[in-house]
Amino acid sequence: VNNLNRFIGVLCISPLCWGYSDANLEADKLRVRDLMRTSNSDDAKIWNTQELLEIYRRVSPRYTAERRAGLERLIRDHTDQVLIEGVPIQGGRTSKYVTKTLSLVVKEVAVGFFNELGASLWSLITS
C-alpha cells in the first residue's frame, strides 16, 4: 500500500497531471498569432480581448512571477476581477471594455489594450 501511495504521488506531480501540455501551448501560440492578424476592426479587437485574457490565464502558470510581472500589471489596470461572495471566480479577470458601449476615447484605450496585451503575450510565449 505504501509503494502504491508513492507511485500515485509521483504520477500526480508528473507533467501528465498538469493538464497543460506543450501541444496546448503551441495551439495557444497559433491562436494568439491568428487573433492578432485577423482582428482588423476596433470592434473585433475589443471582442477578442477576452480570448487573449483566457489564453494568458492558461499559459501563465508555466512562467515565473518575474517574467509575468509586466503583463500582470497591464492586465490588472485594464480588467475587473469578478467576485462571487467575495471570492474570485475560476475564470479569472474580465476586460472592462468588452460589454460596454464605448466612447471614442475609451474605444482607443480598449484597442490599445488589445494590441499591447497581444504583443506582450506573444513575447512571453515565444521567448
Determine the pLDDT at residue 4: 59
pLDDT per residue of the chain (127 residues) written in tens, 0 to 9: 556 555 555 555 444 455 789 999 999 999 999 999 999 999 999 999 999 999 999 999 999 999 999 999 998 888 875 544 545 555 556 666 654 566 778 888 889 999 999 999 999 999 8
Distance in angstroms (rounded) separating the CA atoms of residues 106 and 69: 25
pLDDT by residue (tens digit) across 102-120?
677 888 888 999 999 999 9
Exposure string over 99-123, b if 16+ CB within 10 A, otherwise e: eeebeeeebeebbebbeebbebbbe
Determine the pLDDT at residue 16: 46
Determine the pLDDT at residue 70: 92
CB-CB contact of 88 with 81 (8 Å): yes
Backbone angles phi, psi at 124, to 5 degrees: -65, -45
